[in-house]
Amino acid sequence: MADYYKILGVSERASQEDIKRAYRKLAHQYHPDKKGGSEQKFKEINEAYQMLGNEEKRKQYDQFGHAFDGASRDRGFGGFSSQGGAPFGADFGADFGDVFEEFFSGFGGMGRTSQRRERSRGSDIAVAIDVSFAESVFGSKRTLVLEKTARCVHCGGNGAEPGSALKTCGTCRGSGTIRETRRSIIGSFTTLGECTLCSGSGKIPEKKCDSCKGDGAVRKNETIEIEIPPGIRNEEAIKLMGQGEAAPRGTAGDLYVKIRVLPHPIFRREGNDLLMDLTVPYTALLRGGEQIIETLDGKIQVKIPELSQSGDILRVRGKGIARQTSQFRQSISGAARGDLLIVLKQKLPKKLSSRARKLLEDLSSEGL
């Protein structure tokens, strides 16, 4: 019997992790379906790992040497029955699974189960646009021109010249998938892949569309209207379903429009409220009064209460931002709005006249 430690290229003091690492490397290297692989070598590697990868079997192997035949020589390589093809135990675990998955890499990464695939779907598109602060508050409409793969208008996306019918694909016989069976030393495996002739639709045109040559999609510039809903926030996105890249005789992806809101020189956002600073003379805070201010809705008149303090806030109801909560914004007409919050700031003069100094002295004598 061969020396299992020598087969895996590890010492007798190697840890279980070292043995597992050595096995995985060699199993990948000598897999029969890989270039330069060897069925005999692969069998020896798996037999060695069956012994040394199990701590109990390894102890007995170390104690009794080659006299111990814990691998049961009547079995096939790697713990697979020579009569069947199913695993007899769980000694391989995820390790043999790695080799198994690599074997299937030639099938496009599909798994072991055969399920009919969905029709092709085009890629999503993501773009970003800048909008003014006022547009983010009240909403607006924008027009985008995108170069993308779009559904062929001439044939309606089915790939057939108008007046020509669709017929069952002769390659996949209408199933949209191709069954492929591959035999190997570990058994026969059947996989299903998308039919490349009909792109998974199961139908092909009797006469191909003159415009798209039967693909059902063409590359072109497409104009897209975008409605920016009121109340949208900076970095939020608008999702337009089916406006992404089209797939040959399949479904189109989605378009995501990321909104970048440009800052405003006066207003700032806090939740659904708008904030602005209003700087007034010190006397206006003391005496109070009325003042006309410019808002996003136009000019309004606000009342400053007597003996106001710098930092006080005046609230104007319903002059804020529309309240919305959807993740991907949709326009909501008549949405309730937040408030406009006006933060009072004290304006101090840079110079004082002699008369102003005298008035301040009089105010100081009054405790002001």
Asked whether residue 164 carries a pLDDT value surpassing 90, the answer given is no
| pLDDT for the residue numbered 362 | 75
Q: Coil, strand or helix: which one is 55?
A: helix
Tell me the mean pLDDT in the region 158-174. 85
Q: Which residues define the annotated binding site? A: 152, 155, 169, 172, 195, 198, 209, 212
**Cα–Cα distances in Å, from 145 out to 55, 222, 229, 238, 360?**
65, 6, 20, 16, 64
Count CB neighbours of 54 within 10 A.
17
Q: Coil, strand or helix: which one is 266?
A: coil
More confident residue, 159 or 74: 159
Token pair in block for residue 292: 């006309």
Give one word for 298, left, alpha or beta, with left for phi > 0 and alpha for psi -120 to 50: left
| pLDDT for the residue numbered 107 | 43
Residue 77 CA to residue 48 CA, distance in Å, equals 10
Best CA proximity match to 184, nearest among 100, 278, 260, 92: 100
Tell me the mean pLDDT in the region 116-141. 85
Give the pLDDT confidence of 67-87 residue by residue, as tens digits.
444 444 433 333 333 333 333
Residue 74 CA to residue 36 CA, distance in Å, equals 27
* Class of residue 266 by CB neighbours under 10 A (exposed 0-12, middle 13-18, buried 19+): middle
Residue 255 CA to residue 147 CA, distance in Å, equals 13
- How confident is residue 315, by pLDDT bands cut at 50, 70 and 90? very high
Best CA proximity match to 8, nearest among 57, 41, 55: 41
Domain 268-365 is in which class? mainly beta
259 close to 266: Cβ distance less than 8 angstroms: no
Best CA proximity match to 31, nearest among 70, 65, 77, 71: 77
Superfamily classification of domain 4-107:
DnaJ domain (1.10.287.110)
Give the pLDDT confidence of 1-24 residue by residue, as tens digits.
568 888 999 998 889 988 988 998
The DSSP secondary-structure symbol of 327 reads S
| pLDDT for the residue numbered 241 | 92
Residue 173 CA to residue 87 CA, distance in Å, equals 35
Give one word for 293, left, alpha or beta, with left for phi > 0 and alpha for psi -120 to 50: beta
**Per DSSP, what are the bridge partners of residue 146?**
222
Q: CA angle 241-116-186, nearest 5°? A: 135
Best CA proximity match to 78, nearest among 187, 1, 183, 191: 187
Residue 311 CA to residue 273 CA, distance in Å, equals 17
Token pair in block for residue 220: 């072109």
Superfamily classification of domain 125-261:
Heat shock protein DnaJ, cysteine-rich domain (2.10.230.10)
Q: Which residues contact 271 (CB under 8 A, 6 or more apart)?
A: 338
Q: Which residues define the annotated binding site for Zn(2+)? A: 152, 155, 169, 172, 195, 198, 209, 212
Residue 98 CA to residue 134 CA, distance in Å, equals 56
Least confident of 149-163, 216-230, 231-245, 309-323: 149-163
Q: How far apart are the first and last CA of the chain?
A: 106
Give the pLDDT confidence of 295-308 residue by residue, as tens digits.
999 999 999 999 89
Tell me the mean pLDDT in the region 185-213. 76
User: Which of 58-67, 233-242, 326-335 shows the highest mean pLDDT?
Assistant: 233-242
pLDDT above 90 coverage of the chain, percent:
31
Domain boundaries, the chain: 4-107, 125-261, 268-365
pTM for the full predicted model: 0.55
| pLDDT for the residue numbered 189 | 65
Asked whether residue 89 carries a pLDDT value surpassing 50, the answer given is no
